[in-house]
């Protein structure tokens, strides 16, 4: 790749970006914390979905100190519905590390940023280039596709792509250049229907010249996602004052949906240990709720058990029910519930008429 090609790519891409970039709430931001939040939220998530979450997040946690001091449940609640909850937990952990280790100021280069939980090569490059002007690439999936077509690469390695990115990134405007590449991949160099006639790099694209755009990047067969059925107990009890409570369990601190709250698996809770007197002889079947994670499809099969509370402190009486508690209806909005669990709760309340 000659110097002229590099100069042309930078010039054409930045000119198009300056002329037609999207107006996004983090675009003109200079606060490194806010840029960090936006980049974490944008991982594997569409811009349109992220915008309202980003704005609400900054209202709730306007700076690193506010996030570092927040409770886990509050952080997960603010992220609720955005998915990939490990991002929120690592962002929270990272804020605490920045507060304790760096006096509340983010490291000012990609190498230092990579010391934070959940900050890989892409996120470090994006934040360092946009917030601090470091001339490092930021290669997300969109940029990798652009490079595969721009240079007609059949099966480039991560090292190949990183090297190209390092050669190409504009030394004067690295943040704008990286955002311009991401924008090109998101809006123009699309996976299945690329808009080559609208591309500012049309004259530079080797795949377009050779007629291989549709073959780049090469695709690998998708793995079959395993499926799993989970029988869920939706225990609902009246407290004698006209109030309804649901039995909820907090998931472990590690693994899928760590730290979130859920209706528990049926097998975890012997009926005699629930702290309630059932009014139904058997739990009533409810409609199944399916949810697909990145690596697993789960079909939740809830059953509704109604009754009256017997425990005065609303705490299940045995250690078998670890991290479990009776939650009043008004308290559901204060706990982080995954999307599938929210659907189960709404259907249970409809059946109960509350």
- Ranking 2-16, 122-136, 301-315 by mean pLDDT, the lowest is 301-315
- Ranking 171-175, 207-211, 250-254 by mean pLDDT, the lowest is 250-254
pLDDT higher than threshold 60 for residue 316: no
Q: What's the pTM?
A: 0.88
Average pLDDT, the chain: 92
DSSP-assigned letters across all residues of 167-206: HHS-SS-HHHHHHHHHHHHHHTS-SSS--GGG-TTGGG-H
- The ranges assigned to domains in the chain are 3-215, 227-352
In this prediction, residues 29-58 reach a mean pLDDT of: 96
Distances (CA, A) of 36 to 48, 118, 153, 204, 261: 18, 11, 31, 32, 27
Q: What is the pLDDT of residue 312?
A: 57
pLDDT higher than threshold 80 for residue 348: yes
Q: Domain 3-215 in CATH: superfamily?
A: Hypothetical protein; domain 2 (1.10.340.30)
Reply yes or no on whether 134 is catalytic.
Answer: no
Annotated catalytic residue within 28, 29, 39, 115:
39
Question: What's the rounded Cα separation, in Å, for the pair 347 and 52?
Answer: 26
pLDDT higher than threshold 70 for residue 62: yes
Q: What is the pLDDT of residue 323?
A: 79
Question: What is the CATH number that goes with domain 227-352?
Answer: 3.90.79.10
**248 pairs with which residues across the strands?**
325
Q: What are the tens digits of pLDDT across the range 102-111? A: 999 999 999 9
Q: What is the pLDDT of residue 319?
A: 45
pLDDT higher than threshold 60 for residue 313: no
pLDDT higher than threshold 70 for residue 167: yes
Q: What is the pLDDT of residue 194?
A: 97
């Amino acid at each position: 790749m000659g110097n002229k090609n590099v100069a042309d790519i930078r010039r054409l891409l930045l000119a198009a970006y300056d002329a037609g970039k999207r107006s996004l709430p983090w675009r003109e931001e200079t606060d490194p914390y806010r840029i960090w939040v936006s980049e974490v939220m944008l991982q594997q998530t569409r811009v349109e979905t992220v915008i309202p979450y980003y704005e609400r997040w900054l209202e709730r946690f306007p700076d690193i100190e506010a996030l570092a001091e927040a409770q886990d449940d509050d952080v997960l609640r603010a992220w609720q519905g955005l998915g990939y909850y490990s991002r929120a937990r690592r962002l929270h952990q990272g804020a605490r590390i920045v507060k304790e280790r760096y006096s509340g100021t983010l490291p000012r280069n990609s190498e230092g940023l990579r010391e934070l939980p959940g900050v890989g090569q892409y996120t470090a490059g994006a934040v360092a280039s946009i917030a601090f002007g470091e001339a490092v690439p930021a290669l997300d999936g969109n940029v990798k596709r652009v490079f595969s077509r721009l240079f007609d690469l059949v099966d480039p390695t991560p090292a190949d792509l990183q090297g190209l990115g390092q050669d190409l990134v504009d030394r004067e405007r690295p943040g704008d250049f990286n955002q311009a590449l991401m924008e090109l991949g998101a809006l123009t160099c699309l996976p299945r229907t690329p808009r080559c006639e609208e591309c500012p790099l049309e004259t530079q694209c080797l795949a377009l010249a050779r007629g291989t755009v549709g073959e780049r990047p090469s695709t690998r067969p998708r793995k079959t996602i395993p499926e799993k059925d989970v029988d869920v107990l939706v225990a609902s009890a009246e407290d004698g004052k006209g109030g309804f409570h649901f039995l909820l369990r907090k998931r472990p601190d590690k693994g899928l949906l760590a730290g979130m709250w859920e209706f528990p698996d049926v097998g975890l809770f012997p009926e005699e240990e629930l702290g309630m007197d059932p009014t139904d002889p058997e739990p009533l079947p409810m409609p199944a709720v399916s949810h697909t994670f990145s690596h697993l499809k789960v079909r939740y099969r809830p059953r509704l058990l109604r009754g009256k509370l017997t425990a005065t402190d609303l705490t299940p009486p045995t250690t078998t029910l670890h991290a479990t508690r009776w939650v009043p209806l008004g308290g559901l909005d204060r706990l982080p519930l995954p999307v599938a669990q929210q659907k189960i709760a709404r259907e249970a309340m409809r059946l109960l008429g509350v």
